[in-house]
Amino acid sequence: MAILLTGIYSFAQENYKSATIVTKGGDTLSGLIDYQNWERNPLFILFKQGESGRIHRHTPKDIQSFRVEGDYYFSAVVGVDITPRETDYLTYSAKPIIEVDTVFLSVYLLGKASLYALVDRDAKQHYYIEKDSSGIVELIYIKYLKQVQRKTTIQKNERYKGQLNYFFSDCPAMKKEISNTDFQPESLIDLFKNYNFCVEPNEETVQLTNNETRKAEFNFGFVAGATLTNLKFYSSEQKFDYLTEQNFSNSIKPTVGISLNIVFPRNRGKWALYNELAYRSYDYTEAWHEFIRENYFYDHAVSIGATYIKMSNFIRYQIPDKTVRMYFHLGIAHGYAFQIKNNYKVEKTFYGSTTVKNEPAISALRTYEMGIAGGVGAEFKKFSAEFRYEIGNGISSLINLSSTSHTFFFLLGYHF
């Protein structure tokens, strides 16, 4: 199994595309680069001159630049602000902590003022400006903690706006736009375009990055199929034997729902957040005869069923760039039971006299079920087929009677 998964992973990862590199000596070489549509700036690239050529590993210290699939990266020695932006790691300092590194910068825009970007190993986004002979300067944006009226608050140091006012001072009209500029690629690209047009209206600003490739893709769809559910009960108390000792037969029911697959930008669309809202149900009726002696016996019948609206959320990995795209996902499921069947019937027959007793099979029900699920499937164009397994915490909320539900899904889907 490990060998198979390694093979699938390797097969999915290799993606050589036509490209050029510029060596440290200034020579331009044409060939192929293993292109991964990087979300984070690559630490190195794999390059070969021709399909059967030798593969060379190049870091930012080895080459000047490379171009592949519309992306343009160049090597630069820059300062990198390593102060964290994640809430759990914020400090009380509003000052940047700069480390010097040699990196591949991604070119967003070339003009009088050029805009570059770096997404580091911690997925932190950095932006850089280069204008005239100023060198490459990082635009600084810091989040930090501050005590305000005995409460800890999150503050923002938007130094990048002051930097932009300085660099764009030869176009005073930019001041208001700078004050409204967010620390986001779309906002910064628009700002740089407007500035370049302001100071050099007859010169063309070259945009190298495609914003559409940096946006999430939303795919809505429908899903339908069948479920096979097995219900199990566990208790150390003999009074629940009518549940724990029964082998409830598998319940096969239809399921139908709607889906939303959010494909994350970059990385060749390999990662996605898959969400599904679906109807599903199960239904069991088990009956058995308990013989005590002649003319004295019991007939038991347990009826348990539930109808759910379920929300499932998965992290999905999908193999890119194939006609038939396999995917694997793992996630959690939440179900609300809006209809429940819950009955235990006992008929006692004693020398021709029969008495009937009906009572809830489970005295305390769980209407909200949680579970974990995983699946494997394949997509062809807009169609999909999937096998999924889910284990949930069942229908009993009694402390002395636990339950689990085991469900197998066989699903077909269509997305827009």
Enumerate the domain spans of the chain.
Answer: 13-69, 78-98+114-213, 217-415
Token reading at 304: 């348990």
153-180: per-residue pLDDT in tens?
999 999 999 999 999 999 999 999 999 9
- Write down the pLDDT at residue 210: 55
Q: Which residue has the higher pLDDT, 300 or 322?
A: 300
Mean pLDDT of 370-383: 95
Is pLDDT of 224 > 50? yes
- Write down the pLDDT at residue 6: 44
Q: What burial letters (b/e) apply to 210-229, b meaning 16+ CB within 10 Å?
A: eeeeeeeeeeebebebebeb
Tell me the chain's radius of gyration from C-alpha atoms: 31
pLDDT band at 209; cut points 50, 70, 90: low
Mean pLDDT of 346-355: 92
The fold of the 217-415 domain, in CATH, is: Porin (2.40.160)
- Write down the pLDDT at residue 136: 97
Which CATH architecture does the domain made up of 13-69 adopt?
A: Roll (2.30)
Token reading at 92: 């009380």
- Write down the pLDDT at residue 7: 47
